Amino acid sequence: MIDAVAAAFAARGFQGGVLRFGAGRLQPLHYVMPALSQSPEHAAFYSQPFAPKGVTELSSGAMTFGSRDGKPFFHCHAWWQEADGKFSGGHILPDATSLAGPLTIQATGLQDATFDAVQDVETGFKLFEPQSLGGASEASSGRFHALRLRPNQDLEAALRAYCRAHGIARAQVHGGVGSLIGARYADGRQSPLFATEMAIRSAAIAVEGDSRIEIDLIDYEGHISGGLISNGDNPVLMTMELVLEAEQMQGLEMQGLEMQENARG
């Protein structure tokens, strides 16, 4: 899977970016789920790897693509149905998972920035951080801004604050992979267990007015939930990687075009 994704980005001249996808097929699939930590070095951890038999039918997911130790790498959270009928989700292991057919991705590539995995002192994990490729102080490509949110930042509030600081009145979110400390949904539902894996399904950020962020999430007991989350009540657990695209900036309407690529294994 990592080879197919890397080839799709390289064909358009991009070293990094983000993407979302829908239906597809994987065989083999290797993944881990969120888990409680067994040591004080980490607030949460990963489960042992799972490797379901047969073909797995993907339903949705999001991915951050960049590099780790000088090689292409991705951070992917997805949801699927396994061959025995079980619905599940989690963190796909890139080097041990293969596509079993075409997978259409909606991707945003970055010309002047990428994501690179670096050791993070706060969480104790090696995590993607946005990196500028052109010597700029921030990892951005025109109206596109690569971001990583840190632990305990509220997802919507942090994105709104970034937009305000950069003169962005309205923005779309592309990609969106990370973890929340549980989840509080706009309809009153809650996912109370703190260790999760999540992906943004769709999101629009407004500095003035209501932002809308829809997610999919799985917790460390395997409970799956999703939907529109409450603004101001959903802090990040470990990390959140995404790309913001400015749509309105100081009264100027902006339009963009996403890269669409058919990645084949």
pLDDT in tens, 239-259: 999 999 999 876 666 655 444
Domain that holds residue 59: 2-109
Q: Do 242 and 146 fall within a single domain?
A: yes
Model confidence, pTM:
0.93
pLDDT in tens, 215-230: 999 999 999 999 999 9
Q: Do 166 and 231 fall within a single domain?
A: yes
255 in a structural domain: no
State the CATH number of the domain containing residue 59: 3.30.1330.80
Q: Do 153 and 228 fall within a single domain?
A: yes
126 in a structural domain: no
Q: Do 160 and 236 fall within a single domain?
A: yes
Q: Do 202 and 246 fall within a single domain?
A: yes
Round to whole Å and give the CA distance between 215 and 201.
5
List CB contacts of 176: < 8 A, sequence separation 6 or more.
18, 20, 62, 199, 200, 203, 215, 240, 241, 242
The predicted model gives 179-201 an average pLDDT of: 98
Q: Do 157 and 197 fall within a single domain?
A: yes
**Could you give the C-alpha distances from 62 to 2, 192, 201, 246, in angstroms and in order?**
14, 23, 8, 20
Number of domains in the chain: 2
130 in a structural domain: no
65 in a structural domain: yes
Task: Reply yes or no on whether the pLDDT at 208 is more than 60.
Answer: yes
